[in-house]
């Protein structure tokens, strides 16, 4: 019975890793996929382990494990470092007879461990990507990120501001332009008038958070959101002079990569829920202050509707090319 080993940080797991694992799986009766973990990892070990486990669940002959990387000494040259790696592998995985990799360390590791090494596409021509490249430019390498991993790298943009500044229309236009989805303002699915309770706002807060988390799984590189939980808090303060603590807790569940604060320099459009026309400057100041109090950076978007769309497109283009 041939037991093989594939190991790495999988930070994140990508299509290159999956191709390597599939290559190894076909040559083994049993395959161990070992994810190494350190306290300095940029991506949570629990999250990475969940990704791997979900992706490899269809293969009962694959065992996924997480191992603390306390056997590596970065001060040592590769030849000496791989001696420590070999000792760890032989101690932790005594049944392993072969390991698979695309890395340069394989030759000294095979020598020290006495294991057979089978190389997979060392020049990375089949899947030209690395975890480092994905972390640096996830949107550029989107095609190489498995669907289960993509929500982690989705750039989230909040269209933010008081009533009647064009958030919904702009969210729809930007989603169409960037071939992705947007999250509408969930309050409009719950309310038909301004007769509501604090409990209604809490229910809206949960719905808004769940809608963003669900849309992350469908988004293509970027997700546009018509509002956020700070907005819900602001209206709770206005109508009830009180903010339920859970709204602050829900706020922490979604972090936005870009806030676009829409100015009030467009005409007021009335509807059944809007009743703050007489306070537009005050409301804009409230929205701005809420961001500044949290030290959240934002872009103020001004001008007519067409001008706003052009301005936002330019800002999003910059966001999509910026590193994580």
pLDDT at 195: 80
pLDDT at 274: 65
Fold (topology level) of 154-321 = Rossmann fold (3.40.50)
pLDDT digit string (tens) for the chain, length 324 residues? 899 999 999 999 999 999 999 999 999 999 999 999 998 999 999 999 999 999 999 999 999 999 999 888 889 999 999 999 999 999 999 999 999 999 989 999 999 999 999 999 988 889 999 999 999 999 999 999 999 999 999 999 999 999 889 999 999 999 999 999 999 999 888 877 778 899 999 999 999 999 999 999 999 999 999 999 999 999 999 999 999 999 999 999 999 999 999 999 998 877 766 667 778 999 999 999 999 999 999 999 999 999 999 999 999 999 998 876
Query: In the block, which residue shows the tokens 């009962």?
Result: 60
Q: Do domains 3-144 and 154-321 have the same CATH topology?
A: yes
Nearest 5°: CA angle at 215, between 212 and 221?
110
Q: Does domain 3-144 have CATH number 3.20.20.140?
A: no
Domain locations in the chain as residue ranges: 3-144, 154-321
pLDDT at 229: 98
pLDDT at 185: 93
Question: 115 to each of 11, 103, 109, 196, 278, how far by Cα in Å?
Answer: 25, 15, 8, 68, 76
Dihedral (CA of 68, 72, 78, 81) sign = negative
The CA distance from 181 to 223, in Å, is 6
| Reported pTM | 0.88
């Amino acid at each position: 019975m041939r037991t093989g080993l594939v190991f790495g940080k999988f930070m994140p797991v990508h299509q290159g890793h999956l191709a390597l694992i599939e290559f190894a799986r076909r040559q083994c009766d049993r395959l161990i996929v070992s994810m190494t973990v350190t306290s300095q990892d940029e991506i949570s070990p629990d999250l990475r382990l969940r990704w791997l486990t979900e992706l490899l669940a269809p293969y009962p002959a694959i065992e996924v494990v997480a191992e603390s990387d306390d056997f590596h000494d970065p001060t040592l040259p590769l030849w000496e470092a791989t001696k420590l790696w070999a000792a760890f592998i032989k101690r932790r995985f005594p049944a392993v007879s072969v390991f698979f990799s695309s890395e340069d360390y394989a030759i000294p590791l095979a020598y020290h461990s006495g294991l057979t090494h089978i190389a997979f596409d060392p020049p990375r021509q089949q899947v030209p990507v690395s975890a480092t490249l994905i972390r640096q430019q996830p949107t550029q390498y989107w095609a190489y990120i498995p669907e289960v991993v993509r929500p982690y790298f989705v750039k989230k943009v909040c269209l933010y501001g008081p009533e009647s500044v064009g958030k919904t229309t702009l969210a729809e236009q930007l989603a169409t332009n960037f071939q992705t989805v947007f999250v509408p303002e969930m309050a409009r699915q719950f309310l038909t008038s301004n007769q509501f309770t604090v409990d209604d706002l809490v229910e809206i807060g949960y719905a808004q958070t769940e809608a963003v988390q669900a849309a992350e799984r469908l988004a293509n590189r970027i997700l546009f959101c018509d509002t956020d939980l700070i907005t819900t808090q602001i209206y709770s303060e206005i109508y009830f002079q009180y903010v339920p603590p859970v709204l602050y807790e829900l706020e922490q569940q979604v972090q936005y990569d870009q806030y676009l604060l829409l100015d009030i320099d467009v005409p007021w459009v009335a509807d059944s829920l809007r009743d703050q026309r007489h306070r537009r400057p005050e409301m804009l100041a409230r929205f701005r202050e809420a961001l500044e109090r949290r030290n959240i950076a934002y872009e103020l978007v001004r001008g007519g509707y067409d001008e706003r769309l052009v301005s936002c497109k330019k800002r999003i283009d910059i966001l999509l090319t910026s590193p994580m």
